[in-house]
Structure 1
Amino acid sequence: MPERLLGALLALAAAVLFGASIPFAKLLLGAIGATTLAGLLYLGAGFGVGLLLAVRASFKIRRTEAPLATADWPWLGAVVIAGGVIGPILLMAGLQTTPATSAALLLNLESFFTLLIAWLIFHESIDRRIALGALTILIGAVILSWQGPIGAPRWSALAVIGACLAWAIDNNLTRKLAVADPLVIVAVKGWVAGPITLILAASLGDDFPPVSLAVAASGIGAIGYGGSLIAFVLALRQLGAARTGAYFATAPFMGAALAILLLHEPLTPQVLLAALLMGIGIYLHLTERHDHFHSHDPLVHAHRHTHDAHHQHVHQPDDPPGEPHAHAHAHASIQHAHPHYPDIHHRHRHPLIDR
């Protein structure tokens, strides 16, 4: 399967799983405090992925992913704080008074912020088509966050926007970890972020919910957060942060559709206009093509791979057999032209705006 198609399918799977979690989480708010719910969602993600790790170890399934390196842990710590603690707390706080339909569509801003950070700080390529798509997404989000033509912004909507910014930082930092085992990344994130958030909730006076509700919240987290995070990390390898974020921008539409169906929230003209603008932005992102002559600097790293055009290296006796596999390997310097995206092998600089 072509890498672009695989990356797109993984990003869309991440979007569907996360988008579906929004209205279900909304159903639990009120019965569970916002900060407690945020902690349970991530704790559930950690437990769910931990179960997969236990199954892999019990059945001695061949490991094809690279382990976390010592240099990865500071990046993972920052990911846990931004995406595992701050982002979920802000989202749950915003969901308390923001309709789930609007909150779900506002989550499109995560892709906008992800793209902006990837472009300005990590120098991923952005052409005019991608820039125009990002602008339409931003306009749609502004429409959702204001009450009436001259009204003040909803503070709950601003909390959702803050969650989007926290997750955008998370997304761009996670690209530093994308070569490592995604199960380990997500498990650590859940095991650390979940308890920290629950301790914070207890210090703020949140009561712990009945066991049945806690299990329900953890189940939503295991599927909607854990499964989504695994797919997202894998997509980052193929597409880079900006384009993975663009595909992930379809998540809010799944959440909004389920909110209308399950929670019977109204389909207002404001929501329809915002959805139209965001849909145009996503279409522009998904139909972009990037192809130019580029150079690969010499590189040594370890990650899951097969022996494709970018992986023509000699194996050592202790390297794992079979494909795909993971081991440290070297890339020679090459120059060529082909369609590509900012995956783990194509993180070269571009002009501020490509044509």
Structure 2
Amino acid sequence: MKFNKYILFAILAAVLYAVSTPISKLILDTLSPVYIASLLYLGAGIGMGIIAIIRKKMQITSYKPFTSKELPAIIGMIILDVIAPILLMIGLSTSQPENAALLNNFEIVATSLFAVFLFKEVITKRLWLAIFFVTTASFLLSFGDLDAFKFSTGSLFVILAALSWGLENNLTRMLSLNDPLMVVVIKGLFSGLGSLMIALILSEVIFDFQYILLTLLLGFVAYGLSIFLYVTAQKELGASKTSAFYAFAPFVGAFISLVIFLDVPQITFYPAVILMGIGSFYASTSGKKSLKIKGEANEKTN
């Protein structure tokens, strides 16, 4: 079987992102959700910006330059990248971290459905099966106590974050011919500054430099390098396919969370893991290319 480096990039992106959930949960004891969201993206933007400067001195890269045509996608991407991490941090603050980590897999569903209904892309039958299993698992995780049949508010915020990132993934797909490194820099700096302004308005900014540096570093790894690898992989694999490989992240995040916090998972966690695993399998084996934007094939050959 021929080695596909873009699949490796997608898996590495997932692993790097996986560490963000348990570590963010720890940081939430000191910093607010909005403040953490801002620092995560600023860490990504600053870190990748430094790499971009170093790369520019070492070599000349050839990518399609940004034009006014990409502006709507860029603005939408920035707005959604302000909203999504804030929703995730709010959800994480009131959820078990292993549940929140697994619920991140709902991004597969969101990305695929937005791709189909808004961007007129085509997905395979196996990916529809993946959507079914992941949605069912997300439902189980959202109702931790089935006897009381009480929906978890924290789970709702995590799912809303996944929906926001699902739409954002499709907007980022429109920038796949542009320099992925600069896409991450734009994401990080502008989304981070947007969240920081909200944190300032809410008077949530504190100067605990140890936690600030930790969160910036986490942002560089989990949102900078991870997103860079994700966008690079997405150029070849497509939005839904890349998101499918990204499904490894929640399982890694859930495992790390269980090790760090020594939580006893709720009874629904175990069947949800199985269903998520089945869904991830179907998603990652759904064909050569899960979807394709109309006209994309011609655009890539130019």
Please report the TM-score for the alignment, with normalisation by the length of structure 2: 0.93
Q: Which residue of 2 aligns with 1:169?
A: 167
Q: Which residue of 2 aligns with 1:102?
A: 99
**Distance in 2, Cα, partners of 1:290 & 1:56:** 32
**Distance in 2, Cα, partners of 1:196 & 1:132:** 37
Measure how far apart 1:73 and its partner are.
2.0
Q: For 1:56, give the aligned amino acid.
A: R
**Distance in 2, Cα, partners of 1:65 & 1:49:** 17
- 1:23 aligns to 2:22 (yes or no): yes
Measure how far apart 1:270 and its partner are.
1.8
**Distance in 1, Cα, partners of 2:2 & 2:224:** 25
- 1:187 aligns to 2:185 (yes or no): yes
Measure how far apart 1:266 and its partner are.
2.1
1:235 pairs with one of 224, 233, 254: 233
Flag structure 1 segments of 5+ consecutive residues without an equivalent. 304-310, 312-328, 330-355
Q: How does 1:304-319 map to 2 (within 5 A)?
A: none
Any idea what the Cα deviations from partners look like across 1:72-115, whole Å, max 9, x if unmatched? 12211110101x20000000111111011000000010111101
Identical residues among aligned pairs (%):
33
**Distance in 2, Cα, partners of 1:158 & 1:74:** 28
Query: Which one has the bigger helix percentage?
Result: 2
Q: Which residue of 2 aligns with 1:271?
A: 269
Q: Which residue of 2 aligns with 1:70?
A: 68
- 1:258 aligns to 2:274 (yes or no): no
Measure how far apart 1:298 and its partner are.
9.9
Going from structure 1 to structure 2, the CA distance change for 1:297 and 1:139 (only over 3 Å counts) comes to closer
- 1:37 aligns to 2:53 (yes or no): no
Going from structure 1 to structure 2, the CA distance change for 1:190 and 1:290 (only over 3 Å counts) comes to closer
Any idea what the Cα deviations from partners look like across 1:262-301, whole Å, max 9, x if unmatched? 222224432121110010011112222359xx9x969775
Q: Which residue of 2 aligns with 1:90?
A: 87
Q: Which residue of 2 aligns with 1:143?
A: 140
Measure how far apart 1:191 and its partner are.
0.9
**Distance in 2, Cα, partners of 1:297 & 1:79:** 21
Please report the TM-score for the alignment, with normalisation by the length of structure 1: 0.79
Retained in 1: the 8 A contact 2:144–2:268?
no
Query: Which one has the bigger strand percentage?
Result: 1
**Distance in 2, Cα, partners of 1:290 & 1:236:** 13
Retained in 2: the 8 A contact 1:41–1:220?
yes
Any idea what the Cα deviations from partners look like across 1:220-257, whole Å, max 9, x if unmatched? 00000001111111111111111111111111001101
Flag structure 2 segments of 5+ consecutive residues without an equivalent. none
Q: For 1:112, give the aligned amino acid.
A: V
SS at 1:117's partner residue? helix
Measure how far apart 1:166 and its partner are.
0.4
Q: Which residue of 1 aligns with 2:116?
A: 119
Q: Which residue of 2 aligns with 1:335?
A: none
Retained in 2: the 8 A contact 1:31–1:209?
no
**Distance in 2, Cα, partners of 1:67 & 1:77:** 16
Q: For 1:137, give the aligned amino acid.
A: V
Q: Which residue of 1 aligns with 2:49?
A: 50
Q: 266-275 vs 229-238, which deviates more?
A: 266-275
SS at 2:68's partner residue? coil
Q: Which residue of 1 aligns with 2:125?
A: 128
**Distance in 2, Cα, partners of 1:16 & 1:68:** 29
Aligned length: 298
2:281 pairs with one of 260, 280, 283: 283
1:201 pairs with one of 175, 199, 202: 199
